Structures are given as C-alpha cells and as structure tokens.
Structure 1
Amino acid sequence: MEQRRALVEKITAMMRQGKFFNNAAEWDRERLRPHNPLSRAVYRGGNRLRLMWAVLEKGYTDPRWATLRQYREKGYYPKKGEHGILCEKWIFTKEVIRTDENGRKIRETEELEHPAVAYFTVFNAGQIQGFPQYRAPERAQETQVTALMDDFMAASECRIRELAQERAFYSPARDEIVLPLREFFKDDTSFAKTVLHEMAHSTGHPTRLDRNLSGGYGSPEYAREELRAEISALFMGADLGLPLTGEHYEDHSDYLLSWTGVLQEDYNELFRACADAEKIAARLEGNYERSRGCSLMPVMEEVPPAEKRTRHMEKASCSL
C-alpha cells in the first residue's frame, strides 16, 4: 500500500505541472509496452503503469522485465547494486479437483470468496549483465498514422462523425462520437490521440463494458471516467506504435487538476482506473485485430541461454 501511495504522489505531482504520460516529451513509445521476454507475459494494469513510471524515472531504454529467478534460469545476473520494482498479481480463482457421479476426477475453476494477492519483483533488462540487446519493431511513421486510425475507427462499435464544429465528444444518449474535421487538428497524431480518447469513452455504453457515464463536468464521476479514457488511450497509443508528438484537440489541464483530487482522496483509484483501462484497450484493440486479421502483441524473440550465447560470440570472434 505504501508503494501504491508513493506512485500516486509522484504521478499527481506531474499532473500539477500540467503533464500526464501522453504529453511527457521524454517518452519513447516502445518503452511503454513492458513485457517479459522469458515468460512471454505482457504486464497489464497497475503493473504496466508502475513499470512505465520506472522507465521515466530511471531512464531505461528497454521495455523488457523479468524476475531474478527467470534471468538466472537462463544464466543471466543483475549488475552490482541494482534494485528491482515490486509488482502485484491479484488472484480471483483457484483450481479444484472434484469427483463426478461416475467417480471420475475432474478439474474445475472456482471463484475465491476473497481475492488473494501475490507480490513479485522484476528487473529491467538494462539492469542485467550481458543480456541480449533489444531489437525494437518498426513503429508507425507520421505518414502512416492517418491510414492506421482509419482502420481503427472502422472497427468502432458506434458511429463516428467528423463535422465542421469545435468539440470532440462521445454522446451516450446517441451512442456516437463526434469529432471536428481533421484539418482542425494540429497534426495527424493529435487527431489520433483524440480519437482513441473518445473511443475509450464509447466502451462505457451499457451494451459494452457498462461504466457510469452520467457524471457532469467537474464531478468525481466525470473525473474517474476521464482518467480511464486517458490511461486507456495511453496504452493503445503505445500498442499501436503512434509517435509521441501530438496534442489533445481540447485543453486537458482542467482534467488533470480534477484527477489529482480524485487520486488524493483514494490512491487506490489509480489502480482501479488502470484495471478498467486495460479492459477498454482490450475491447477496442480486439475489434481492430479481428477486422484487420493482425495482432498487436509485442514482438518477443527467443532469448538464448547466457553460456550458449557466450560460446557463440567467442566462436564468431575467432573466425574474424
């Protein structure tokens, strides 16, 4: 809980400066996709936000994270004096073995009465001595953003209208997104960032993820929904490989101030927002992947054991 509180305090301090992750110039999109090259896991929700902050705070350039045990199983060890990041895993179900009426044992999944939490510590690949260098996949260029967003919008579950007016919003009553004309935006990436934010709101419809969208401007409910839309837009922008340039069509400085109030009142709200943001991103990205027949999962190359890699490098060196 103390680590949660510390993270929230750091993030709210950034918000008071008028910044959120989406407009922090020092970010590299690729580092916003933390994943485990050894277990093939992708870090989600609050853990993703934790590791994103660690990248910003410590200047890591590698998006790969794993536990010491996983590194050691491959023969890799941390550099002297390195410290890991504490993450948490919530467990909501357990497997039980039952006997059916025919006397056969069957395995079933049972929901826990009270969720359990397990903690684990991960280290960035940049903290590991001799770990294979990361090869970043090709990212979307500014010229590709328009086509990318056209495809993403085509998979929307609600109508999206682009009109000659000055507001970007989602209407729950009409279940539609209204955007200004594209030429009103500063650039294509600014358009994309706004689209992702409004599409995130659309998943709150009762026929989809059914969130509370009734809060008026300035209310705690409104701030909570805006926080969810912004975090999910951040996650999706990283997953789509969008460039870091670009601004929201509308000024979000007021939103940032309202978010700090909500988070200071209950620092666990940030982690609830991250969990909901993952559900939002999963739904919208799933629609896109099905429509395009592609996958947005990070590229994970096989990591060779340290000894084999060392022998290979020695052999190659001798041949020169």
Structure 2
Amino acid sequence: MNAYEIVMESRQKLVEQVISNMKKGYIFTEKKWDAQVLAPHNPVSHVSYKGGNRIRLIQQVVEKGYQDPRWMTRRHLQEQGYYIKKGEKQTICEKWIFTKKEKYMDEDEQEKVREVELEKPMVSYFGVFNAEQIKDFPPLVQLEDQELSETMKIGMDCICSSECRIIECAQPEAYYAPGLDKIVLPLRQMFKDEESYVATVLHEMVHSTGHHSRLNRNIENPFGSIEYAKEELRAELGSMFLKADLGISMQGEHFQDHSNYLKSWISVLEDDYNELFRAASDAERASIRIMDCYQEYKKSPEIGRKPQNIKDVTLTPVK
C-alpha cells in the first residue's frame, strides 16, 4: 500500500473504534482520566501531537491502559540509546505536506529559495511508541493534583481572557449566542462542582471561536440538525483538549450532557470517517486560540474581561 492508503486505513480503524465506544455511551472511555495522559507529546523533540494524531494516541491510551503521555519515534529512541520491548508495535500517525521549497532567480539574477503551496497536498506517515513500550525508560514525573480552588482560578482566568463577553444569570441553560457574540451561563451555584462549571465554560468558549471574526466555522445551524451535531463534536473535543492542556480534572460534567448527540455523531462518522479528523483539526485550532488568549491574559491580567451577571436575556443559542 502507498502512504495515502495506509493513512486512510488507519483512520478507518480508529473511527470504527470510536463509533463502537459511542454506541456504549461515550467517546473514548467511561473511566476518569488523568489530564496529563490526554496531552500526548514527544519528550525528545518537544512536539505535542495535535488534531487527528492526538485522537489516535488518546485511543491507544484507552485501549492499552497506558498511564504515560510520552510518545517517540524509533529514530528518537535509537538516538537516546533506548530499545523497544519485544513484541511491541508502533502506532501510525499521519503528516500532511502542503508546501515545497523551490529555487528561483531574483531581479538581480541571484539564486534564492522560496516556499510555494502544492497544488495537491501530499500525505506521509510515521510510527511512534509509548514510553511504556520502551525498555528501562525513565519513569514519568507525575503532576500534582490541582486543588479545586486552583481549578476555579484557572476557569476564571479563562473567562477573563475570553474574546467574547461571558455572563451568568438565573436561567437553566448554558450556550453561546453567535449573533450577539456572547456566552450565557447559569449561576455558578447551579453546577454540581467546580470542575463541571469550568468544563461548561470551556465547551462554550470553543463554540465562540467559530464566530466569523475568529475561525469562521459553520456554527449557526438549527437544533437537531447534522451540522449542529458536528459543531457539538468540535466543542466536546476542544474542551477535552483544553482540560488536558490546563491540567484540569476530567471528572467534571458539562451542564448539557452530550449523550443526546451521540446518535447523531455515530451517523455522521458512519457516513464519512474523515469527519472525525476534520472535527479534531477544528477542535485543535479552537483550543490553541483559547490557550493563546489565556497565556496572553496571564501576562497582563488587568486588560482582561470580567464575567458579568444579568437577570434576563433572550438570545439565539449554540449549546
């Protein structure tokens, strides 16, 4: 098989496993997870795996029961003097190439090199191994558990770094209103715990990145439609990525449970398994944008937005 066929076969197998999970009522697992494990990275190159590759490696963590988020190529391991345990198999990751370098002559007849966009992207792939598959690899240094007060502090910093206004009011829904570019939340005391509050905040913040002035996704769709379900999948994945990147407990629940969307997601993925990778890519872009704003706010907190409380509001929601 060529590289494209290998990548597509790998995608299909992953989506079949995700669909199987969804039919049981969840995306990856019923278990609670350490956020650190859901942030796969290469400790040698210091690269964090993103988008569809992140989904691939999370699924392997679930399937194999790994407790280590570190993944490396065979070449990196050999360079570091480590060996793969007997019988261990690699996990395929994909890489898409959109540009190439070409030589050209400038106006002074000097040869230079520039990067140009390919007419058709090229796909390649590479294999990685989890640290638990490596003989005598140094143990993982575990992150200390966050106190709930620290979780709330992270959540409030996210709110204050939001690119759109976030308000709390005495009503039972959590949603993003694209027309007014606002996130509306129930009062904080209506949530079961602090993790659930922050999980809901992050979910709605991912929706807000779809605004036409930001990442410009198709987010204004009628409730119950396939396109509406697709955006919910992006928000679900994006909030999960953010919790992992922020080190927030995975035990929180969203204010609106995602189980109602599972049947729609199954239908979408069965029709086109590439949709999971499009969703993961969009979710990654959303989480990166939110993290960039969060980091910028942490440098200059005095310029951030403050959450506000209102008594009543009538908006067109994206939940």
- Please report the TM-score for the alignment, with normalisation by the length of structure 1: 0.89
Deviation at 1:229, TM superposition (A): 0.8
2:19 alignment partner, one of 2, 12, 19: 12
SS at structure 1 position matched to 2:104:
strand
Are residue 172 (structure 1) and residue 178 (structure 2) matched? yes
Question: Counterpart in 1 of 2:243?
Answer: 237
Question: Where do 1:123-162 residues align within 5 Å?
Answer: 123-162=129-168
SS at structure 2 position matched to 1:179:
strand
Are residue 67 (structure 1) and residue 59 (structure 2) matched? no
Deviation at 1:293, TM superposition (A): 2.9
Question: Counterpart in 2 of 1:86?
Answer: 92
**Is the alpha carbon distance of 1:293 and 1:105 closer, same or farther for their aligned partners in structure 2, counting shifts above 3 Å?**
farther
Counterparts of 1:105 and 1:139, CA distance in 2 = 56
Question: Counterpart in 1 of 2:48?
Answer: 42
Question: Which letter does structure 2 place at the counterpart of 1:25?
Answer: K
SS at structure 2 position matched to 1:107:
strand
SS at structure 1 position matched to 2:113:
strand
Deviation at 1:139, TM superposition (A): 4.5
Deviation at 1:141, TM superposition (A): 2.4
Question: Which letter does structure 2 place at the counterpart of 1:187?
Answer: D
Contact 2:32/2:251 (<8 A) preserved: no
SS at structure 2 position matched to 1:282:
helix
Q: Any idea what the Cα deviations from partners look like across 1:171-212, whole Å, max 9, x if unmatched?
A: 011110000001000000001111111000001111000011
Question: Where do 1:1-320 residues align within 5 Å?
Answer: 1-21=8-28, 24-293=30-299
Counterparts of 1:256 and 1:14, CA distance in 2 = 10
Question: Which letter does structure 2 place at the counterpart of 1:258?
Answer: S
Counterparts of 1:139 and 1:40, CA distance in 2 = 23
Counterparts of 2:79 and 2:184, CA distance in 1 = 52
Counterparts of 2:139 and 2:219, CA distance in 1 = 45
Counterparts of 2:217 and 2:32, CA distance in 1 = 33
Unpaired segments ≥5 residues, structure 2: 1-7, 301-319
Question: Which letter does structure 2 place at the counterpart of 1:170?
Answer: Y
Question: Counterpart in 1 of 2:5?
Answer: none
Structural RMSD (CA): 1.3
SS at structure 1 position matched to 2:83:
coil
Counterparts of 1:110 and 1:179, CA distance in 2 = 45
The range that moved more, 253-262 or 97-106, is 97-106
Contact 1:35/1:65 (<8 A) preserved: yes
Question: Which letter does structure 1 place at the counterpart of 2:14?
Answer: L
Question: Which letter does structure 2 place at the counterpart of 1:168?
Answer: A
Contact 1:27/1:56 (<8 A) preserved: no
Deviation at 1:70, TM superposition (A): 1.1
Counterparts of 2:254 and 2:181, CA distance in 1 = 22
Counterparts of 2:103 and 2:281, CA distance in 1 = 30
Deviation at 1:129, TM superposition (A): 0.6
Contact 1:161/1:178 (<8 A) preserved: yes
- Please report the TM-score for the alignment, with normalisation by the length of structure 2: 0.89
Counterparts of 1:122 and 1:102, CA distance in 2 = 46
Task: Report sequence identity in percent.
Answer: 51
Counterparts of 2:43 and 2:160, CA distance in 1 = 32
Counterparts of 1:215 and 1:6, CA distance in 2 = 30
Counterparts of 2:96 and 2:85, CA distance in 1 = 30
